[in-house]
Amino acid sequence: MKNIKEGRMMLRRLLIGMLFMFSLTMPMLAMAEEQAAQPEATTEAIAAPATAVPQEITDKIASAQIAGDTAWVLASSALVMLMTPGLALFYGGMVRKKNVLGTILQSFVALGIITLQWVLIGYSLAFGPDKGGMIGGLEWLGLANVGLEPNADYAGTIPHQAFMIFQMMFAIITPALISGAFAERMKFSAYLVFITLWAFLVYDPVCHWVWAINGWIRNTGALDFAGGTVVHITSGVTALAAALVMGKRKGYGTEHMAPHNLTMTLVGAALLWFGWFGFNGGSAVASGALATNAFVVTHIAAAAAALSWMAAEWIQRGKPTALGVASGLVAGLVAITPASGFVGPMSAIVIGLAAGVICYMAVSLVKPMLGYDDSLDAFGVHGVGGAFGALATGLFASKAINSAGNDGFFYGNPSLLGTQIVAVVVVAVYAFVVSLILLKVIDWTMGLRVTAEDEMEGLDLSQHGESGYTS
């Protein structure tokens, strides 16, 4: 008890120090962001032609832009797709040996189920012609009217199908993230039903609200560049709902449940870090300055969060761990996601440092205090990290970085923070309530949880009849 109190005291001191650092950093941030805007203006001045450019040259320039943007978005789509197998390894290494294949398969099967759901109806519901700001229409069922010509509403320099498949990869990884909450105890059949219905009832509507033309949250002015709200808040709060409904694993708190293969987890974390450059950078839906900014701040925030999580853990527990560094970098990636197209490098450092400490506290202090079993900390990292990132966007966003965005609290516009708070609360409450109802219905009809005997045997053998290891 004494050690816990001392650890908490040291964490408080660390947080006070970070807050002091933030106050010193604000003027520097403003100067940095103002300077970042200058090259853009200079470039425009230089690019202004003194004489008319022949139409042939203009056409060639436009064609080159289309080719470059398309190549970047397709490459980014592949990077985001790689994140789901990366997540599989990240989660797979953290469970016990008897559950490794079952855990990995939950991510891989999402690639199959959500791909078909997205093509058949999900994309139409998420991005199709708006119906009252709440949902897309059915005009794009089976990718009808989604061809190889650009859709100017979303991306005017890439084929519509390129935008569709990029967004598909987001839709795939989001339900896979939830699986970390109920690892080692959910029926595979129940999981398949759950993620399918969840995509219809939670992901597609929220995606429309936040990103679609005339989506009601988008119309409030809320900012979410690459999915802090759409991906991480929805998956994170759903993870909390799942952990509460399903209850704790057998032996939780009394048996040893340490990760069985941290090397696998670190490889998965590396793949997530790598793929996240497409996740955030690709969200510019064009190659160029904005994609570059998102790429740069993504890396910076991940690095900062890995270090701050490690420092917090070192202070509280006396030793830094590989799992802590891996968890910290993911927390940083989550937090910078909604802000990546609106903040500069110095803001990214602050966001990353704060995210590492905040998510560590959620995992190491809040979870034990409340007593729920979120097996792989999906809520603590993605729910808390996504919410913090959305709020940080309201603090640090700057029109000097992205003129299509808005200035945040520290740049003279406190209203944006209020808008972000509303978006976070609404999406979190909606995702939690709908997920809770959905989980309860599935539990009442077909059952969510494996039997006690199957759980003791492990999901690899009981659910799939195979084992990840020969001994």
Mean pLDDT (whole number) for 104-130: 98
Residue 284 has pLDDT above 60, yes or no: yes
Q: How many residues does the chain have?
A: 471
> In this structure, are residues 443 and 247 in contact, taking their beta carbons and an 8 Å threshold?
no
pLDDT digits (tens, 9 = 90+) for 446-463: 999 999 999 999 999 999
pLDDT digits (tens, 9 = 90+) for 417-430: 999 999 999 999 99
Residue 11 has pLDDT above 70, yes or no: no
pLDDT digits (tens, 9 = 90+) for 356-381: 999 999 999 999 999 999 999 999 99
Rounded Cα distance between 216 and 130, Å, is 10
Whole-number Cα distances in Å, 294 to 123, 202, 288, 301, 336: 25, 27, 10, 11, 9
Tokens representing residue 245 in the block: 């409904």
Q: pLDDT band at 17, cuts 50/70/90?
A: low
Return the residue matching tokens 């320099």. Answer: 157
Q: What are the backbone angles phi and psi of residue 186, rounded to the nearest 5°?
A: -95, 140
Q: Which of 28-32, 176-180, 280-284 has the weakest average pLDDT? A: 28-32
Q: Which helix (H) or strand (E) holds 136?
A: strand 135-136
Q: What are the backbone angles phi and psi of residue 56, rounded to the nearest 5°?
A: -60, -40
What DSSP assignment string belongs to 257-326? Answer: ---S-HHHHHHHHHHHHHHHHHHHHGGGSSSSHHHHHHHHHHHHHHHHHHHHHHHHHHHHHSS--HHHHH
Residue 35 has pLDDT above 80, yes or no: no
Tokens representing residue 5 in the block: 């109190």
What DSSP assignment string belongs to 67-115? Answer: HHHHHHHHHHHHHHHHHHHHHHHHHHTTS-GGGHHHHHHHHHHHHHHHH
Mean pLDDT (whole number) for 306-324: 96
Tokens representing residue 466 in the block: 């195979």
Rounded Cα distance between 109 and 329, Å, is 25
- Spatial CA neighbour of 196 closest among 138, 114, 277, 252: 114
Q: What are the backbone angles phi and psi of residue 465, rounded to the nearest 5°?
A: 65, 30
Domain extent listing, the chain: 21-26+67-464
> In this structure, are residues 305 and 325 in contact, taking their beta carbons and an 8 Å threshold?
no
Higher pLDDT, 19 or 184: 184
**Quick check: helix, strand or coil at residue 155?**
strand
> In this structure, are residues 338 and 223 in contact, taking their beta carbons and an 8 Å threshold?
yes
Query: With 0-12 CB in 10 A as exposed, 13-18 as middle and 19+ as buried, what is 112?
Result: exposed
Mean pLDDT (whole number) for 112-137: 98
Output the pLDDT for position 384. Answer: 98
Output the pLDDT for position 66. Answer: 87
Output the pLDDT for position 40. Answer: 45
Mean pLDDT (whole number) for 127-156: 97
Q: Mean of the per-residue pLDDT values for the chain? A: 91
Rounded Cα distance between 211 and 193, Å, is 26
Tokens representing residue 348 in the block: 């990214």
Percent of the chain with pLDDT over 70: 88
Residue 48 has pLDDT above 80, yes or no: no
Residue 55 has pLDDT above 80, yes or no: no
pLDDT digits (tens, 9 = 90+) for 57-109: 776 777 778 899 999 999 999 999 999 999 999 999 999 999 999 999 999 99
Residue 301 has pLDDT above 90, yes or no: yes
> In this structure, are residues 178 and 376 in contact, taking their beta carbons and an 8 Å threshold?
no
Residue 118 has pLDDT above 80, yes or no: yes
Mean pLDDT (whole number) for 171-185: 98
State the Rg of the chain over Cα.
Answer: 22
Higher pLDDT, 49 or 261: 261
Output the pLDDT for position 10. Answer: 60
Distance of CA 120 to the CA centre of its chain: 24
Question: Among 3.30.420.40, 3.40.50.300, 3.40.30.20, 1.10.3430.10, what is the CATH number of 21-26+67-464?
Answer: 1.10.3430.10
Output the pLDDT for position 45. Answer: 42
